[in-house]
Chains A and B, each alone.
Chain A
Amino acid sequence: AQSVTQLGSHVSVSEGALVLLRCNYSSSVPPYLFWYVQYPNQGLQLLLKYTSAATLVKGINGFEAEFKKSETSFHLTKPSAHMSDAAEYFCAVTRGNAGNMLTFGGGTRLMVKP
C-alpha cells in the first residue's frame, strides 16, 4: 500500500521568499514521486517527477525537489516565490510498474503575499 502526507494544508509566503512544501510518502516498493500544480479552474499540471535517477529533480517554473529515502520525503522548493506561483500543489506516488495509478496527498494551497 502507498500513502502520501502533505504537512500544512495552507502555506503563505512573501513574494521573493523561499517556498518549501513538504511531502512524506509511504511505499512498500521503490516509488516514483510526482509534484503536480493545480491553478483555479484548471487541470493538474506536472511540475516534476522522480523515477529513480538523480535524487535532486528540477522541474518547470524554477521548482525542484529532493528525494530522501532515509526520511521518506520529497519536499518541493523554490528559492524565490512569485505571485504567479499561488496555486494548489499535490504530491503523488505511484509504484512505477504495473498499475501506475497515482496516490495523492491532500494538497497544499500556496498563497504569495506582495
Chain B
Amino acid sequence: GAGVSQTPSNKVTEKGKYVELRCDPISGHTALYWYRQSLGQGPEFLIYFQGTGAADDSGLPNDRFFAVRPEGSVSTLKIQRTERGDSAVYLCASSSSGGGGEQFFGPGTRLTVL
C-alpha cells in the first residue's frame, strides 16, 4: 500500500516569503507528526495531531509556524515570513495510534530559504 507522501520534495524560496508543505499520511492513520531535520542533526519534533486537532504543538519554534489537518487526513505545515534558519528537511510521519505505535515517515520536503 501507499506510504506517507510529502509534496513538494524540494522547495526553494526567498527570505520573507510564505510556504506551505503538504503531508499525505497512510490511509486510516489517526496520528500525524511533523519533524524538522537540520543538516547533520537528528529530527526535532514540531507538532502532533490526533485526528483533526493539534494534541501537542510544543515543538513549533515560534508563531511563524502553523499546521492544520482539517479533515483528519492530509496536513499542511505553513511557514510565514521565512528566514534562512528555516532551511531544513521537514519530515512527516503517521501512525495508527498513539501509545508507542510505529511511526511511518515520509521522504521529507527539503526547504531552502535564500
Chain A, interface residues (CB within 8 Å), range: 20 to 34
A84 within 8 A of B: no
Give 1 or 0 for each of A92-105: 1 = CB within 8 Å of chain B CB: 10101111111111
Query: Which residues of B25-61 are within 8 A (CB) of A?
Result: 31, 33, 35, 40-45, 48, 55-56, 59
- Taken together as a complex, chains A and B put the C-alpha atoms of A41 and B105 apart, in Å, by 13
B112: which A residues are within 8 A, CB to CB?
none
When C-beta atoms are compared, the residue in chain A nearest to B44 turns out to be A104
- Taken together as a complex, chains A and B put the C-alpha atoms of A51 and B93 apart, in Å, by 19
Q: Whole-angstrom distance from the CB of B6 to the nearest CB of chain A?
A: 9
Q: Whole-angstrom distance from the CB of A71 to the nearest CB of chain B?
A: 21
Q: Is the CB of A104 within 8 A of B43?
A: yes
Q: Is the CB of A101 within 8 A of B33?
A: yes
Q: Is the CB of B42 within 8 A of A105?
A: yes
- Taken together as a complex, chains A and B put the C-alpha atoms of A66 and B93 apart, in Å, by 25
Q: Which of A14-22, A42-50, A74-82 binds B? A: A42-50
Number of A-B pairs whose CB atoms are under 8 Å? 70
Q: Whole-angstrom distance from the CB of B9 to the nearest CB of chain A?
A: 9
| Main SS at interface, chain A | loop
- Taken together as a complex, chains A and B put the C-alpha atoms of A36 and B100 apart, in Å, by 14
- Taken together as a complex, chains A and B put the C-alpha atoms of A94 and B100 apart, in Å, by 7
Q: Is the CB of B59 within 8 A of A101?
A: yes
Q: Whole-angstrom distance from the CB of A33 to the nearest CB of chain B?
A: 10
**Of A32, A44, A94, A107, which is within 8 A of B91 by CB?**
A44
- Taken together as a complex, chains A and B put the C-alpha atoms of A99 and B41 apart, in Å, by 22
Additional A-B contacts beyond A32-B100, A90-B43 (17; CB < 8 A): A43-B3, A43-B4, A43-B107, A44-B43, A44-B91, A96-B100, A98-B55, A100-B31, A100-B95, A100-B99, A100-B100, A101-B48, A101-B56, A102-B33, A102-B35, A104-B42, A107-B42
17 contacts between A and B (CB under 8 A): A9-B40, A42-B107, A44-B43, A44-B93, A44-B105, A45-B105, A94-B100, A97-B100, A98-B55, A99-B48, A100-B95, A101-B33, A102-B33, A102-B43, A103-B45, A104-B42, A106-B40
